[in-house]
Amino acid sequence: MYYKKIVDLPTLPEDLTQELIQSAVTLFEQVKDNVIYYRNFEQSDTNSLNYIRLEDIHLYEKSGGVTALPMPKDLEDRVKDFYRQADHTITNLFDYYGFLIVEGGTNCVPHIDDIERRRNGFQYLLKSGGKEVKTVWYEPKDEFKDQKLKDYCAVPYSKLNVVDEACLEENNWYWMKFDTIHSVENQESIRFFLAGGKEGVGDYTEYVKG
């Protein structure tokens, strides 16, 4: 399982949703000139799954990236209050909420996140970034399965097979795997998530079993 829609978690009220989106836009505008997008490439170690030939690098340098931003405390408190009343097993775990913003290109090329800190997690899609945007998960082709893999480093599409994909729906919670190679495709505009979590926890698999 690479993702799961959490169908029994309530959606946020429309007015709070719009405030969160506006806050994310405002915060991102303040920091975007200093954002270093995910553009880490391996061009020397030919035994790495991440190795990209010099003649192909232009395909990957156009990649966007993900920025994590804390939300204003008053908004975070309102989100916490809303989900405290929902009294759900998952959101009862969370001690923080923040923004994840995907921006900077029409795709965010295949990669894995920091597997020590973020194997998987819960995210609520506030703004999709387009009608055909999809998250895609991959496994290495057979001839590359034994090659080492770096986190937060691009993996060439040519070395991968697609194993799952999803067009996530706005105003829904999802559990998603980040320690499996994944990308974002067909993005037209900025994409916003509300992310919830518990400090020091990077694996929530036990909460989505069954």
| List of long-range contacts for 71-77, beta carbons under 8 Å, 24+ apart | 71/20, 71/23, 71/24, 71/27, 71/97, 71/98, 71/99, 72/23, 75/16, 75/19, 75/20, 75/23
Look at residue 134 in the predicted model and tell me its pLDDT: 97
One of 3.30.43, 1.10.287, 1.20.1460, 2.60.120 is the CATH number of 3-200, namely 2.60.120
Look at residue 35 in the predicted model and tell me its pLDDT: 63
Look at residue 17 in the predicted model and tell me its pLDDT: 97
CB atoms within 10 A of CB 58: 8
Please report, as a single letter, which amino acid is at residue 199.
Answer: E
Show me where the domains of the chain are located: 3-200
Look at residue 118 in the predicted model and tell me its pLDDT: 87
Phi, psi of 122 (to 5 degrees): -110, 130
CB atoms within 10 A of CB 198: 12
Distances 109 to 19, 35, 38, 115, 159 between C-alpha atoms, Å: 30, 17, 9, 17, 13
Distance CA 8, CA 29 (A): 34
Look at residue 98 in the predicted model and tell me its pLDDT: 97
Distances 18 to 30, 72, 120, 205 between C-alpha atoms, Å: 19, 14, 26, 30
Look at residue 36 in the predicted model and tell me its pLDDT: 54
What is the enclosing helix (H) or strand (E) of 160?
strand 160-166
Distance CA 69, CA 66 (A): 10
Look at residue 130 in the predicted model and tell me its pLDDT: 95
**What are the residue ranges in the chain where pLDDT is below 50?**
none
Look at residue 38 in the predicted model and tell me its pLDDT: 55
